[in-house]
Structure 1
Amino acid sequence: MSTPLQPQRRRLDSSKNPEVRALAKLKERRARAREGRFLVEGTREVTRALEAGRALERLYVCPERLRDEGRALVARCQAEGAASVTELSPAAFRVLSHREAPDGVIALVRTALTTLRDLQLAADALVLVVDGLEKPGNLGALLRTADGVGAAAVFATGAGTDFENPNVIRSSMGSVFSLPTLRAPAAELLAWLRAQGFRLVAATPHADTLFWDAPYTGRTALLLGTEHDGLSALWLEAADVRVTIPMGGLADSLNVATAGALLLYEALRQRRRRAP
């Protein structure tokens, strides 16, 4: 039987505790937007948030579920004064958790208020724009890939999911914290990209240029839409280049996360080939 980490530490046992119930509301997007806070679950994800400089308001831990790496994270937070720690009973922790096999760590994190004016990008920055993406798993996978190729930022437009969705954080494996992410109105983002000198490369089945034949060096913004509807007319009409991914079987399109990975790694290939 696991015992509390420290007998004197604050502990919430009831799943109906007002604080626990208030935190559970942050599972919903509307509450996250209203409160300006969100939950990050998992030792790896919380560690990456911490290492990215995100401020942890509080760490909630279930001693009965903690593993060695979770205990190490708690010790680090205490040693660095990164966050106060509250223990939860297994019943209270289940109210907050999204996972079938949680590892006993959830952090309360304040939303980063980043604006387009805050971004200072390199002269050859590669960014990703996702338009109307609704599936958190796809957005999370794209964030992992964008992080993997060293993209400078990921932007979201349209009525898609938010970057603080618990399933986005989980499927990104914490990569959502490793690069700037920003949701902005499409027209505003387009105007900013134009002012910043970005070449716009739109992925669409209705194009003549194969994706590996397009240039991705210099300031480049890759544009991806939903699998069902594709990019909005605004982005398609604004694109400098439209590219397509060849399909040789019965399927007429790829999963958007797979399509994005192809474009992002082609951009990386071209950039490495041109590097001195």
Structure 2
Amino acid sequence: MDDLEPITSLQNPRVKQVVRLRDRRDRDREGLFLIEGYRELSRALAGLQPITEVYTCPEFYLGSNEPRLLEQLAERCGAAIQPVSSQVFRKISYRDRPDGLLALAPRPQWGLDQLGSIDGSVAPLFLVAQSIEKPGNLGTLLRTADAAGVTGVVVVDRCTDLFNPNVVRASVGTLFTVPIAEATSTEAILWFQQNGIRLVATTPDSSLDYTATDLSGPLALVMGSEQYGLDDRWLEKTDTQVRIPMAGQADSLNVATATAIVLFEALRQRSGN
């Protein structure tokens, strides 16, 4: 890596570019997004996500492995490594407690072909996230999907940008570890039908508990928006609708919590327990 002079001015055009990329319109226009954090960048590297440049401030490092990661990003991705002052890093960071690493990456286009082919040797388990509104929830869904070892995640009719910095942060980098596709509801429903994937939806209107249905075969768990739930297109096309019984006064759970409950029940059934 070449030793570059640190950027110290808050008025530097590159600093202003990084700050602009917090806005979805600028990410769309420039085709770039931000990845901040050692863990997130490590997973991006492992997931073969291209990285164009990394802004770094050793003053904020939390460990001793950051220099090696920077070497790998430079060697494998050809990323330019640009040191900055602590004042500049605080300006470009979107975290309360930065760890001194923030990268720019080209924004990928993830279609349904990203999910590959269904070979039938192992029953696939997909997660469908329809119209999720909050970046933190979408990121947590990706983290949950990674923990459950899902085959893939399909984000449909998106209300929030997959590459919002808060999605990347809440996913703790699992945005780069799970196969992800973006599609319309119509495209996704057709793809699942063509591949013989059973659609299972959660809804409080169902009388069937999630533990009382077979979740061991090829299926996609379909989760709706925080405020409105699933729309009629999905409810009409789902093969099975289940509910999570509630013992208290609340009539629903956070979408990420509900997703975790049903996905791990599917894992339990698939393990034979």
Q: Distance in 2 between matches of 1:81 and 1:191?
A: 36
SS at match of 1:202: strand
Report deviation, 1:79.
Answer: 4.8
TM-score by length of 2: 0.93
Instruction: Answer whether contact 2:199 2:238 (CA < 8 A) is retained.
Output: yes
Q: Distance in 1 between matches of 2:150 and 2:93?
A: 30
Moved more, 79-88 or 259-268: 79-88
| Amino acid paired to 2:9 | S
Matched, 1:120 2:116: yes
Report deviation, 1:94.
Answer: 2.0
1:232 corresponds to? 231
Moved more, 124-133 or 79-88: 79-88
- Which of 34, 39, 47 is the equivalent residue of 1:39? 34
Moved more, 237-246 or 139-148: 139-148
Where does 1:37-186 land on structure 2 (aligned, <5 Å)?
37-67=32-62, 68-80=64-76, 82-122=78-118, 123=120, 124-186=123-185
Identity of aligned residues (%): 41
Unaligned runs of 5+ in 1: none
Instruction: Answer whether contact 2:40 2:173 (CA < 8 A) is retained.
Output: yes
Instruction: Answer whether contact 1:200 1:241 (CA < 8 A) is retained.
Output: yes
Q: How many residues align?
A: 269
Q: Distance in 2 between matches of 1:79 and 1:205?
A: 51
Q: Distance in 2 between matches of 1:189 and 1:79?
A: 37
Q: What is the RMSD computed on CA atoms of the aligned residues?
A: 1.8
Moved more, 9-18 or 237-246: 9-18
SS at match of 1:33: helix
| Amino acid paired to 1:186 | S
SS at match of 2:58: coil
Instruction: Answer whether contact 2:115 2:181 (CA < 8 A) is retained.
Output: no
SS at match of 1:12: coil
TM-score by length of 1: 0.92
Runs of 4+ in 1 over 6 A off after TM superposition: none
Instruction: Identify if the C-alpha distance between structure 1 residues 81 and 31 changes in structure 2 by more than 3 Å, giving closer, same or farther.
Output: closer
